[in-house]
Amino acid sequence: MLLVSDDPERCYAAAMRILSYRFNSEGELRRKLEMKEFGRELIEATIDRLRDEKWLDDDRFAAAYVRTRVRKGIGLLRVKRELIAAGVESDTIARALDESLPDHDERAAALASARKRLAILRRRDDDALIREKLMTYLFRQGYDSSMAMEVVRELMK
């Protein structure tokens, strides 16, 4: 008798259910299937099958993820960290960043993001507190410290 965790069709069906909600990286899908207590060999076979059937593609996942997050004003450092956390390999991440955003201006994106945040902060805080909060906000959004300091200096003139 097969246990639920030893049935290849159940593992495949579980993977398809997971993918029906949103596109996942191989690493994310692997973790989710492990949580459902499917065996490692079964998970690898299922992932291979999904990759062959084009349901799973880390290059496509990373490229779409990069475009979506950058459109929301998220900095490239944070996007990169999030993709690493999703289990995407570093060479795939580098390709996605290069190919998905050929003419991306990180400074302009940081400036736009900071301007929006500044409008909110000016309503209730003084300049010293605004400067601190704006820097913290840009760090959380994934912009590096030198760029964040430069942008905050420019906006606070």
pLDDT in tens, 89-105: 999 999 999 998 888 89
pTM of the complete model: 0.83
pLDDT of residue 5: 62
Could you list the residue range(s) of the whole structural domain that residue 66 is in?
A: 58-100
Residue 23 CB neighbours (<10 A)? 14
Q: Which residues contact 4 (CB under 8 A, 6 or more apart)?
A: 10, 37
Considering the domain architecture, whether residues 147 and 119 belong to the same structural domain is answered as yes
Number of domains in the chain: 3
The CATH number linked to 89 is: 1.10.10.10
Single residue among 35, 52, 69 that ends a domain in this structure: 52
Considering the domain architecture, whether residues 114 and 149 belong to the same structural domain is answered as yes
Return the closest-CA partner of residue 42 out of 24, 15, 63, 72.
15
Considering the domain architecture, whether residues 113 and 143 belong to the same structural domain is answered as yes
Q: How far apart are the first and last CA of the chain?
A: 73
Considering the domain architecture, whether residues 122 and 92 belong to the same structural domain is answered as no
